[in-house]
Structure 1
Amino acid sequence: MKGKVRDAVISLIEQEREGEQIDHTLLKNAVDMFVEIGKEYYENDFESFMLKETSTYYSRKAANWILDDSCPDYMLKAEECLNREKNSSLAYLHASSEPKLLEKVRHELLSVYATQLLEKEPCHALFKDDKVVHLSRMCRLFSMIPRGLDAVSSTFKQHVATEGKTLVKQAEDAASNKEVFVRKAIELHDKYLAYINVRFNNHTVFHKALKNAFEIFCNKGVAGISVAELLATFCDNILKKNGSEKPSDETVKDTLEKAVKLLAYISDKDLFAAFYREKLARRLLYDMSANDEHERSMLTKLKQQCGNWFTSKMEGMVSMHKY
């Protein structure tokens, strides 16, 4: 009798997976009979068979979807299946079955085909086209499987590094004003930091990937000029008097904050310090500094980023200038 009940219940579950309407109350009553006999009987006489059939069902489905569907379409189906299984388990299965059931579904739909999915439609195409919904879903699903985000974050790093190298090339091709590279790099950093915080649930692996990507192109230089020098010149232009152009205090502080974030990716920070001290000296000597508060604020940011030793001489210069 228990074998017939078990097979009938599993058959009803598969019918629901195929989109048919079933009687959840009847199903729950049947499953509860196994539970009432005893937890051990529920696990051995029903749950183990149900989980095996679940693996078989989704293995069959995934094998067809991976051939016919695009990566975003496949991911959408996988997410729908996981949500449906979660709701179904709450409706008629014992609570202890939910994690086991979802693990089987994740394994068959995601773990088995993770590499193929990323090769089928490379992530960089999704990044390039700003397919944020698909990217969010991919991150959400791959975070559910062991080391699932490693491959996604690796592709993310490659994409950001490629865009950074493009900025370098564009700056090199420009007739003048190489410092535009710094502003473009800040914009790029803002864009993908927002991706991580909003779309990628602030996962550490993506922060690491972003850091690695920026280190790749921020240490190459632009037409023979180091990014350290370009960054120091960029900060100098922000901090010195610029005629009628007077950005708001908030804009200046925000821009300098972002510039210091770029400094974190430059390996030769001493070179930046040398250029920055030279330009600071000129601002102070020729009374070209637009705002003493901004000068001190910048030094505070640099100290937080690089340590006391990094700014000690600069702070001495600013203090002496006051007198």
Structure 2
Amino acid sequence: MIRYILQRIAGMIVVMFIVVTVVFVIVRVTPGDPAAVMLGPDATPQDITDLRTRLGLDQSIFVQYFFYIGQLLKGDLGHSIFLNMPVSAALMERAEPTFFLTVFSLLIACVIALPIGIYAAYRRGSFIDQASTLLAMLAASIPSFWLGLILMQVFAVRQQWFPVSGYGGPDAAFLDRMYHLTLPAVALGLVSSALILRFTRASMLDVLGDDYIRTARAKGVVERRVVLKHALKNALIPILTVIGLTAAVLISGAVVTETVFGLPGVGNLVVSAVLRRDYPVIQGALLVIAGLYVLINFAIDMLYLLVDPRVRY
């Protein structure tokens, strides 16, 4: 087991090194002079030259790369040019809305998808099975930002049940903030539930026809116990995989939804940084998101050991 964990950690390090390199190169080769974009059209050539020197952009890309790697090894993500603060501090300020939006959305997706997927597999070929498959395909084809706009128009503008945008005031209570996150979380959760539902149904169908399921039924085991304990337990690995991937996608995919609902999250920060060419913020946000992606995959791998001990071999 220790060897398996060490192999996974080594793989994470390699992946993050590749991500760091790719992010650095992509940001640097983007057309346009970042110093000129940052200073605006009224900047003089001398101002642009001074800023390029201060940011190290006058050095070769290799020198910039090794300097950036050295910063990362010290835990320094850089300093935001426009916000005039460390990137790590800027990300921490915006982390709360994104974190709770991701958790809230994933909870909604699982509450919708898991029961329907299990029951649809158990009643294979029934009306509920066909309807759930159709709804899953429909939800998967709907952009979350479009669904968010529809929910905003119906429940916020017309019915006035929920706020149109924002995250509450500076002193808002936790429940008030969750109240503001309801519509964006529902928009993301409904779209994300489609993939979880289809994987749950497919995984349950694979195990419901196995010999040990027929044996359990022949022994007179209660049907609910057969489905929820014997079948679901052996179908959990692919279900956990898709839930973990969905969580990672929600973290990185909440950018547009946060912008639509005016949430002061990491997604909104990234959009502003891209428009301003704030390189340190762009790089820091991408690395943090990629790191969370890798950590979630690692956590899912560890859960495999608990669900099915045979994985360690």
For the superposition of Structure 1 and Structure 2, which TM-score range results when normalised by the shorter chain? under 0.3
Q: Larger Rg: 1 or 2?
A: 1
TM-score, normalised by the number of residues in structure 2 = 0.20
**What TM-score does the superposition give when structure 1 sets the normalisation length?**
0.20
Tell me: higher relative CO, structure 1 or 2? Use CA pairs within 8 A at least 6 residues apart. 2
